[in-house]
Amino acid sequence: MTFVNREAELRELDAAANHGGLLVVFGRRRVGKTRLLRQWLQAHNGLYSQAIEAQRDLQIQQVFADLRPQLETQLVPKTWPELLEILSLQKRRWALCLDEFPYLTAVDSSLPSQLQKWLDHALPPGCLLLVAGSSTHMLHDLFLHRAAPLFGRARKLLHVQPMDYAAFCAACGLRRGDADSFEKFACVGGIPKYWEFVEAGQDAVALAESLYFDYAPYMEQEPQRLLRDEGVHGLNAVAVLEAVGRGAERPSEIASRLGTAQTNLSRLLSQLLDASILTRELPFGESVRTTKKILYRIQDPTMRFWFRVFSPHQSRWRTYATADKRKLIHDHAATVFEDVCRARFPGAQRYWEGNVELDLVAPDLNDRKRLLVAEVKWRRLTAAERRNLLRELESKWAHCSLRTRHPNVHFDVFDATILDV
Protein backbone atom coordinates (compact mmCIF):
# COMPACT_ATOMS: atom_id res chain seq x y z
CA MET A 1 0.00 0.00 0.00
CA THR A 2 1.23 3.49 -0.86
CA PHE A 3 2.91 5.48 1.91
CA VAL A 4 1.03 8.80 1.99
CA ASN A 5 0.42 11.99 3.91
CA ARG A 6 2.95 11.80 6.74
CA GLU A 7 4.87 14.88 5.58
CA ALA A 8 4.44 16.73 8.89
CA GLU A 9 5.74 13.76 10.90
CA LEU A 10 8.69 13.29 8.53
CA ARG A 11 9.60 16.96 8.98
CA GLU A 12 9.48 16.51 12.76
CA LEU A 13 11.86 13.55 12.48
CA ASP A 14 14.22 15.53 10.23
CA ALA A 15 14.29 18.38 12.75
CA ALA A 16 14.98 15.95 15.61
CA ALA A 17 17.86 14.40 13.67
CA ASN A 18 19.48 17.82 13.29
CA HIS A 19 19.64 18.24 17.07
CA GLY A 20 19.97 14.67 18.37
CA GLY A 21 18.82 13.56 21.81
CA LEU A 22 15.71 11.60 22.75
CA LEU A 23 12.49 11.64 20.72
CA VAL A 24 9.38 9.81 21.94
CA VAL A 25 6.98 8.57 19.26
CA PHE A 26 3.57 7.37 20.37
CA GLY A 27 0.13 6.64 18.96
CA ARG A 28 -2.53 3.99 19.14
CA ARG A 29 -1.99 0.44 17.92
CA ARG A 30 -1.85 0.01 14.12
CA VAL A 31 -1.87 3.76 13.40
CA GLY A 32 1.31 3.47 11.31
CA LYS A 33 4.14 4.35 13.72
CA THR A 34 6.36 1.47 12.62
CA ARG A 35 5.82 2.17 8.90
CA LEU A 36 6.61 5.85 9.45
CA LEU A 37 9.76 5.16 11.44
CA ARG A 38 11.04 2.50 9.05
CA GLN A 39 10.41 4.81 6.09
CA TRP A 40 12.38 7.62 7.71
CA LEU A 41 15.21 5.42 9.05
CA GLN A 42 15.68 3.78 5.65
CA ALA A 43 16.26 7.21 4.11
CA HIS A 44 18.77 8.10 6.86
CA ASN A 45 20.66 4.81 7.17
CA GLY A 46 19.23 4.47 10.68
CA LEU A 47 19.08 1.53 13.05
CA TYR A 48 15.86 -0.18 14.06
CA SER A 49 14.81 -2.84 16.52
CA GLN A 50 11.36 -3.94 17.57
CA ALA A 51 11.28 -5.23 21.13
CA ILE A 52 9.75 -8.60 21.94
CA GLU A 53 7.84 -9.80 24.97
CA ALA A 54 10.43 -12.06 26.55
CA GLN A 55 12.94 -12.31 29.40
CA ARG A 56 15.48 -9.50 29.70
CA ASP A 57 18.44 -11.50 28.40
CA LEU A 58 16.52 -12.55 25.31
CA GLN A 59 15.39 -8.97 24.74
CA ILE A 60 18.98 -7.71 24.85
CA GLN A 61 20.08 -10.46 22.47
CA GLN A 62 17.24 -9.61 20.09
CA VAL A 63 17.98 -5.87 20.05
CA PHE A 64 21.69 -6.47 19.52
CA ALA A 65 21.02 -8.98 16.73
CA ASP A 66 18.89 -6.37 14.94
CA LEU A 67 21.56 -3.66 15.27
CA ARG A 68 24.71 -5.76 14.81
CA PRO A 69 24.94 -5.52 10.98
CA GLN A 70 25.30 -1.71 11.22
CA LEU A 71 27.56 -1.53 14.30
CA GLU A 72 31.34 -1.51 14.47
CA THR A 73 32.11 -3.76 17.44
CA GLN A 74 33.51 -7.12 18.45
CA LEU A 75 31.74 -7.02 21.80
CA VAL A 76 28.58 -8.95 22.67
CA PRO A 77 26.58 -7.15 25.37
CA LYS A 78 24.93 -9.00 28.21
CA THR A 79 23.37 -5.97 29.91
CA TRP A 80 21.69 -2.74 28.80
CA PRO A 81 24.63 -0.56 29.98
CA GLU A 82 26.98 -2.69 27.86
CA LEU A 83 24.77 -2.25 24.80
CA LEU A 84 24.51 1.50 25.41
CA GLU A 85 28.30 1.72 25.73
CA ILE A 86 28.69 0.05 22.32
CA LEU A 87 26.43 2.73 20.86
CA SER A 88 28.54 5.45 22.51
CA LEU A 89 31.70 4.05 20.87
CA GLN A 90 30.38 4.22 17.31
CA LYS A 91 32.40 6.55 15.08
CA ARG A 92 29.48 7.86 13.04
CA ARG A 93 26.37 9.82 13.92
CA TRP A 94 23.44 7.51 14.15
CA ALA A 95 19.68 7.45 14.63
CA LEU A 96 18.29 4.44 16.46
CA CYS A 97 14.67 3.45 17.04
CA LEU A 98 13.62 1.10 19.84
CA ASP A 99 10.07 0.19 18.87
CA GLU A 100 7.61 -1.24 21.42
CA PHE A 101 9.80 0.24 24.14
CA PRO A 102 7.27 -0.54 26.94
CA TYR A 103 7.95 -4.26 26.43
CA LEU A 104 11.51 -3.62 27.62
CA THR A 105 10.62 -1.54 30.67
CA ALA A 106 7.88 -4.00 31.70
CA VAL A 107 10.56 -6.68 32.14
CA ASP A 108 13.37 -4.51 33.52
CA SER A 109 12.14 -1.58 35.61
CA SER A 110 15.71 -0.33 36.01
CA LEU A 111 16.10 0.37 32.28
CA PRO A 112 14.69 3.96 32.42
CA SER A 113 17.24 4.88 35.13
CA GLN A 114 20.08 3.31 33.13
CA LEU A 115 18.92 5.14 30.04
CA GLN A 116 18.69 8.43 31.96
CA LYS A 117 22.36 8.21 33.02
CA TRP A 118 23.42 7.37 29.49
CA LEU A 119 21.41 10.22 27.95
CA ASP A 120 22.83 12.69 30.47
CA HIS A 121 26.48 11.65 30.23
CA ALA A 122 27.27 9.35 27.30
CA LEU A 123 24.93 9.95 24.35
CA PRO A 124 27.23 11.05 21.51
CA PRO A 125 26.57 14.58 20.19
CA GLY A 126 24.16 14.68 17.28
CA CYS A 127 22.95 11.11 17.75
CA LEU A 128 19.21 10.48 17.97
CA LEU A 129 17.44 7.86 20.05
CA LEU A 130 13.80 7.28 19.17
CA VAL A 131 11.60 5.23 21.47
CA ALA A 132 8.13 4.25 20.31
CA GLY A 133 5.08 2.77 21.99
CA SER A 134 1.38 2.36 21.53
CA SER A 135 -0.19 4.04 24.51
CA THR A 136 -0.64 7.38 26.21
CA HIS A 137 -0.51 5.34 29.43
CA MET A 138 3.11 4.44 28.58
CA LEU A 139 3.88 8.03 27.68
CA HIS A 140 2.68 9.36 31.01
CA ASP A 141 4.31 6.74 33.22
CA LEU A 142 7.72 6.81 31.53
CA PHE A 143 8.14 10.40 30.34
CA LEU A 144 5.57 12.79 31.83
CA HIS A 145 5.36 11.71 35.45
CA ARG A 146 7.57 14.04 37.49
CA ALA A 147 9.03 11.16 39.50
CA ALA A 148 9.97 9.15 36.38
CA PRO A 149 13.72 8.91 35.61
CA LEU A 150 13.12 10.00 32.00
CA PHE A 151 10.97 13.00 32.89
CA GLY A 152 12.16 16.05 30.96
CA ARG A 153 14.70 14.07 28.93
CA ALA A 154 12.73 13.91 25.68
CA ARG A 155 13.42 16.75 23.26
CA LYS A 156 10.08 16.11 21.55
CA LEU A 157 6.93 14.02 21.93
CA LEU A 158 5.62 13.05 18.50
CA HIS A 159 1.99 11.90 18.51
CA VAL A 160 1.20 9.86 15.38
CA GLN A 161 -2.49 10.50 14.76
CA PRO A 162 -5.01 8.54 12.69
CA MET A 163 -5.13 9.70 9.08
CA ASP A 164 -7.98 11.41 7.30
CA TYR A 165 -10.40 10.47 4.55
CA ALA A 166 -8.33 12.12 1.80
CA ALA A 167 -5.26 10.07 2.78
CA PHE A 168 -7.37 6.90 2.87
CA CYS A 169 -8.60 7.50 -0.68
CA ALA A 170 -5.08 8.28 -1.92
CA ALA A 171 -3.60 5.17 -0.30
CA CYS A 172 -6.35 2.82 -1.49
CA GLY A 173 -6.88 4.31 -4.95
CA LEU A 174 -10.49 5.36 -4.26
CA ARG A 175 -12.40 8.38 -5.54
CA ARG A 176 -13.05 11.13 -3.00
CA GLY A 177 -16.67 12.14 -2.58
CA ASP A 178 -17.98 8.72 -3.55
CA ALA A 179 -20.54 7.45 -0.99
CA ASP A 180 -19.13 3.92 -0.98
CA SER A 181 -15.56 5.12 -0.45
CA PHE A 182 -16.62 7.14 2.59
CA GLU A 183 -18.61 4.25 4.03
CA LYS A 184 -15.49 2.10 3.65
CA PHE A 185 -13.54 4.78 5.50
CA ALA A 186 -16.17 4.70 8.27
CA CYS A 187 -15.50 0.95 8.64
CA VAL A 188 -11.70 1.21 8.82
CA GLY A 189 -11.18 4.74 10.13
CA GLY A 190 -7.83 6.48 9.89
CA ILE A 191 -5.86 3.34 10.81
CA PRO A 192 -3.60 2.29 7.89
CA LYS A 193 -3.29 -1.33 9.05
CA TYR A 194 -7.02 -1.82 8.53
CA TRP A 195 -6.78 -0.28 5.05
CA GLU A 196 -4.98 -3.44 3.93
CA PHE A 197 -8.38 -5.17 3.89
CA VAL A 198 -9.70 -2.82 1.19
CA GLU A 199 -9.88 -4.60 -2.19
CA ALA A 200 -10.69 -3.37 -5.68
CA GLY A 201 -14.35 -3.77 -6.62
CA GLN A 202 -15.37 -4.47 -3.02
CA ASP A 203 -18.29 -2.54 -1.52
CA ALA A 204 -18.57 -1.36 2.09
CA VAL A 205 -20.63 -4.39 3.13
CA ALA A 206 -18.00 -6.83 1.83
CA LEU A 207 -15.25 -4.84 3.57
CA ALA A 208 -17.12 -4.86 6.89
CA GLU A 209 -17.71 -8.59 6.60
CA SER A 210 -14.05 -9.39 5.89
CA LEU A 211 -12.82 -7.20 8.75
CA TYR A 212 -15.46 -7.82 11.42
CA PHE A 213 -17.92 -10.61 10.61
CA ASP A 214 -16.02 -13.43 8.89
CA TYR A 215 -15.07 -16.48 10.90
CA ALA A 216 -12.04 -15.58 13.10
CA PRO A 217 -12.23 -11.93 11.99
CA TYR A 218 -9.25 -9.62 12.34
CA MET A 219 -11.12 -7.20 14.60
CA GLU A 220 -12.53 -9.78 17.01
CA GLN A 221 -10.20 -8.96 19.93
CA GLU A 222 -9.15 -5.47 18.87
CA PRO A 223 -11.00 -3.51 21.60
CA GLN A 224 -9.45 -5.68 24.30
CA ARG A 225 -5.97 -5.11 22.82
CA LEU A 226 -6.47 -1.34 22.73
CA LEU A 227 -7.74 -1.27 26.30
CA ARG A 228 -4.76 -3.35 27.46
CA ASP A 229 -2.35 -1.01 25.68
CA GLU A 230 -3.84 1.91 27.58
CA GLY A 231 -3.76 0.16 30.94
CA VAL A 232 -7.56 0.10 31.18
CA HIS A 233 -8.47 -3.29 32.63
CA GLY A 234 -11.60 -5.16 33.60
CA LEU A 235 -14.91 -6.18 32.10
CA ASN A 236 -16.49 -2.90 33.18
CA ALA A 237 -14.53 -0.99 30.53
CA VAL A 238 -16.00 -3.17 27.78
CA ALA A 239 -19.43 -2.90 29.41
CA VAL A 240 -19.23 0.92 29.35
CA LEU A 241 -18.31 0.87 25.65
CA GLU A 242 -21.12 -1.60 24.94
CA ALA A 243 -23.57 0.76 26.64
CA VAL A 244 -22.31 3.85 24.80
CA GLY A 245 -22.28 2.00 21.47
CA ARG A 246 -25.92 1.04 21.97
CA GLY A 247 -27.03 4.59 22.62
CA ALA A 248 -26.45 5.30 26.32
CA GLU A 249 -24.56 8.60 26.08
CA ARG A 250 -25.41 10.30 29.39
CA PRO A 251 -23.54 9.23 32.55
CA SER A 252 -26.83 8.32 34.22
CA GLU A 253 -27.83 6.14 31.26
CA ILE A 254 -24.48 4.35 31.24
CA ALA A 255 -24.73 3.68 34.99
CA SER A 256 -28.28 2.40 34.58
CA ARG A 257 -27.23 -0.04 31.82
CA LEU A 258 -24.44 -1.36 34.07
CA GLY A 259 -26.68 -1.53 37.13
CA THR A 260 -24.38 0.62 39.24
CA ALA A 261 -24.24 4.08 40.80
CA GLN A 262 -23.04 6.90 38.56
CA THR A 263 -20.29 7.78 41.05
CA ASN A 264 -18.79 4.29 40.61
CA LEU A 265 -17.99 5.08 36.97
CA SER A 266 -16.09 8.35 37.40
CA ARG A 267 -12.59 6.85 37.46
CA LEU A 268 -13.27 4.45 34.57
CA LEU A 269 -14.78 7.19 32.41
CA SER A 270 -11.73 9.37 33.12
CA GLN A 271 -9.40 6.54 32.06
CA LEU A 272 -11.31 6.01 28.82
CA LEU A 273 -11.19 9.76 28.13
CA ASP A 274 -7.44 9.95 28.86
CA ALA A 275 -6.89 7.03 26.49
CA SER A 276 -8.85 8.85 23.73
CA ILE A 277 -11.22 5.90 23.49
CA LEU A 278 -14.18 7.96 24.65
CA THR A 279 -14.73 11.62 23.94
CA ARG A 280 -16.83 13.94 26.06
CA GLU A 281 -19.28 16.32 24.39
CA LEU A 282 -20.77 19.48 25.85
CA PRO A 283 -23.24 21.86 24.22
CA PHE A 284 -21.49 24.72 22.40
CA GLY A 285 -20.58 27.54 24.76
CA GLU A 286 -20.77 25.48 27.96
CA SER A 287 -18.03 24.01 30.16
CA VAL A 288 -17.68 21.02 32.46
CA ARG A 289 -17.80 23.39 35.44
CA THR A 290 -21.08 25.03 34.42
CA THR A 291 -23.21 22.23 32.93
CA LYS A 292 -24.40 18.73 33.66
CA LYS A 293 -25.39 18.23 30.03
CA ILE A 294 -22.50 15.88 29.27
CA LEU A 295 -22.55 13.16 26.62
CA TYR A 296 -19.98 10.43 25.97
CA ARG A 297 -19.23 9.03 22.52
CA ILE A 298 -16.76 6.47 21.22
CA GLN A 299 -14.08 8.50 19.45
CA ASP A 300 -12.47 6.12 16.97
CA PRO A 301 -14.67 5.08 13.98
CA THR A 302 -13.56 1.44 14.12
CA MET A 303 -14.21 1.12 17.85
CA ARG A 304 -17.55 2.85 17.31
CA PHE A 305 -18.39 0.38 14.54
CA TRP A 306 -17.39 -2.51 16.77
CA PHE A 307 -19.72 -1.49 19.60
CA ARG A 308 -22.49 0.12 17.52
CA VAL A 309 -22.77 -2.38 14.66
CA PHE A 310 -20.66 -5.50 15.15
CA SER A 311 -21.36 -6.37 18.78
CA PRO A 312 -25.17 -5.89 18.74
CA HIS A 313 -25.62 -7.64 15.38
CA GLN A 314 -22.86 -10.25 15.08
CA SER A 315 -25.03 -13.27 15.91
CA ARG A 316 -27.74 -12.31 13.39
CA TRP A 317 -25.64 -10.64 10.69
CA ARG A 318 -25.74 -13.55 8.25
CA THR A 319 -29.54 -13.60 8.38
CA TYR A 320 -29.87 -9.94 7.34
CA ALA A 321 -30.74 -8.86 3.83
CA THR A 322 -28.02 -6.89 2.05
CA ALA A 323 -30.18 -3.76 2.21
CA ASP A 324 -30.39 -4.05 6.01
CA LYS A 325 -26.61 -4.42 6.27
CA ARG A 326 -26.15 -1.35 4.08
CA LYS A 327 -28.53 0.63 6.27
CA LEU A 328 -26.54 -0.21 9.42
CA ILE A 329 -23.28 0.83 7.74
CA HIS A 330 -24.90 3.97 6.30
CA ASP A 331 -26.17 5.05 9.73
CA HIS A 332 -22.75 4.46 11.27
CA ALA A 333 -21.10 6.43 8.45
CA ALA A 334 -23.46 9.33 9.17
CA THR A 335 -21.95 9.70 12.67
CA VAL A 336 -18.43 9.66 11.21
CA PHE A 337 -19.45 12.22 8.58
CA GLU A 338 -20.63 14.59 11.31
CA ASP A 339 -17.22 14.23 12.99
CA VAL A 340 -15.46 15.01 9.69
CA CYS A 341 -17.59 18.13 9.16
CA ARG A 342 -17.01 19.43 12.70
CA ALA A 343 -13.27 18.78 12.40
CA ARG A 344 -13.11 21.33 9.56
CA PHE A 345 -14.15 24.18 11.85
CA PRO A 346 -12.01 24.95 14.94
CA GLY A 347 -14.13 25.01 18.07
CA ALA A 348 -17.10 23.28 16.43
CA GLN A 349 -19.50 21.42 18.72
CA ARG A 350 -23.03 20.15 18.76
CA TYR A 351 -25.68 22.04 20.71
CA TRP A 352 -28.79 20.69 22.40
CA GLU A 353 -31.42 22.29 24.57
CA GLY A 354 -34.86 20.81 25.26
CA ASN A 355 -36.18 19.58 21.90
CA VAL A 356 -33.65 21.62 19.92
CA GLU A 357 -30.55 19.88 18.55
CA LEU A 358 -28.02 21.54 16.26
CA ASP A 359 -25.46 19.41 14.41
CA LEU A 360 -22.70 22.02 14.19
CA VAL A 361 -22.10 25.34 15.92
CA ALA A 362 -18.74 27.10 15.56
CA PRO A 363 -17.12 30.52 15.23
CA ASP A 364 -17.43 31.53 11.58
CA LEU A 365 -14.04 31.25 9.84
CA ASN A 366 -14.83 34.34 7.74
CA ASP A 367 -16.04 36.51 10.63
CA ARG A 368 -15.00 35.65 14.20
CA LYS A 369 -17.81 37.82 15.60
CA ARG A 370 -20.36 35.64 13.84
CA LEU A 371 -21.52 32.10 14.57
CA LEU A 372 -21.80 29.35 11.99
CA VAL A 373 -24.86 27.17 12.66
CA ALA A 374 -25.22 24.21 10.32
CA GLU A 375 -27.28 21.12 9.60
CA VAL A 376 -25.27 18.05 8.54
CA LYS A 377 -26.73 15.35 6.27
CA TRP A 378 -24.88 12.26 5.05
CA ARG A 379 -26.18 12.30 1.47
CA ARG A 380 -26.22 14.59 -1.56
CA LEU A 381 -29.09 17.05 -1.27
CA THR A 382 -31.13 18.70 -3.98
CA ALA A 383 -31.41 22.48 -4.04
CA ALA A 384 -35.00 22.20 -2.77
CA GLU A 385 -33.94 19.96 0.13
CA ARG A 386 -31.23 22.44 1.11
CA ARG A 387 -33.72 25.32 1.14
CA ASN A 388 -36.14 23.35 3.31
CA LEU A 389 -33.40 22.38 5.76
CA LEU A 390 -32.22 25.99 6.01
CA ARG A 391 -35.77 27.11 6.88
CA GLU A 392 -36.01 24.36 9.52
CA LEU A 393 -32.61 25.36 10.92
CA GLU A 394 -33.68 29.00 11.25
CA SER A 395 -36.84 27.85 13.03
CA LYS A 396 -34.78 25.77 15.48
CA TRP A 397 -32.54 28.73 16.17
CA ALA A 398 -35.53 30.91 16.97
CA HIS A 399 -36.34 28.57 19.89
CA CYS A 400 -32.75 28.38 21.12
CA SER A 401 -31.55 30.46 24.08
CA LEU A 402 -28.07 30.62 22.53
CA ARG A 403 -29.38 33.25 20.10
CA THR A 404 -29.54 35.91 22.83
CA ARG A 405 -25.75 35.77 23.22
CA HIS A 406 -25.03 35.42 19.50
CA PRO A 407 -27.26 37.67 17.39
CA ASN A 408 -24.95 37.51 14.36
CA VAL A 409 -25.38 34.08 12.74
CA HIS A 410 -24.66 32.44 9.39
CA PHE A 411 -26.80 29.38 8.60
CA ASP A 412 -25.58 26.61 6.30
CA VAL A 413 -26.22 23.01 5.30
CA PHE A 414 -23.39 20.52 4.75
CA ASP A 415 -24.03 17.39 2.72
CA ALA A 416 -21.82 14.77 1.08
CA THR A 417 -20.55 17.28 -1.49
CA ILE A 418 -18.22 18.67 1.19
CA LEU A 419 -16.09 15.54 0.67
CA ASP A 420 -15.35 16.60 -2.91
CA VAL A 421 -13.23 19.53 -1.70
| 190 and 92 in a common domain | no
Report whether pLDDT(1) > 70.
Answer: no
Total number of domains constituting the chain: 3
Residues 244, 278 contacting (CB under 8 angstroms):
yes
CATH number at residue 276: 1.10.10
pLDDT at 2 > cutoff 70: no
pLDDT at 5: 77
**Together in a domain, 189 and 248:** yes
Same-domain status, 359 and 227: no
Answer whether 158's CB lies under 8 Å from 13's CB.
Answer: yes
Sign of CA dihedral 225, 340, 347, 243: negative
Predicted pLDDT of residue 381: 96
Same domain assignment for residues 332 and 402:
no
Spatial separation of the C-alpha atoms in residues 338 and 421, rounded to whole Å = 16
Question: How do residues 111-169 score in pLDDT, each as one tens digit?
Answer: 999 999 999 999 999 999 999 998 777 778 899 999 999 999 999 999 999 999 999 99
Q: What is the pLDDT at residue 4?
A: 73
Identify the domain containing residue 248 by its residue range. Answer: 166-343
pLDDT, one tens digit per residue, over 346-395 is: 999 999 998 999 999 999 988 888 999 999 999 999 999 999 999 999 99
SS3 110: coil
**Does the pLDDT value for residue 3 go beyond 80?**
no
Condensed to tens digits (0 to 9), the pLDDT of residues 193-212 reads: 999 999 988 999 999 999 99
Residue 293 CA neighbour count, 13 Å, CB half: 14
Query: Do 328 and 296 have their domain in common?
Result: yes
Res. 215: pLDDT tops 80: no
Q: Could you tell me if 318 and 408 lie in one domain?
A: no
Last residue of a domain, one of 159, 187, 204: 159
pLDDT for residue 421 is more than 90? no
Q: How far apart are CA 18 and CA 12, in angstroms?
A: 10
pLDDT digits (tens, 9 = 90+) for 21-72: 999 999 988 999 999 999 999 999 999 999 999 999 999 999 999 999 999 9
The last residue of a domain, from among 343, 363, 385: 343
Q: Which of 159, 191, 220 is the last residue of a domain?
A: 159
Residue 109 and residue 34 in one domain:
yes
| Mean pLDDT calculated for residue range 9-19 | 95
- pLDDT for 291 equals 86
What is the pTM (predicted TM-score) of this model?
A: 0.91
Q: Same domain, yes or no, for 270 and 412?
A: no
192 and 324 together in one domain: yes
CATH, residue 29:
3.40.50.300
| Positions of E strands within 57-153 | 95-99, 128-133
Same domain, 292 and 230: yes
Lowest-confidence segment of 163-172, 216-225, 260-269, 326-335 by average pLDDT: 216-225
54 plus 112 within the same structural domain: yes
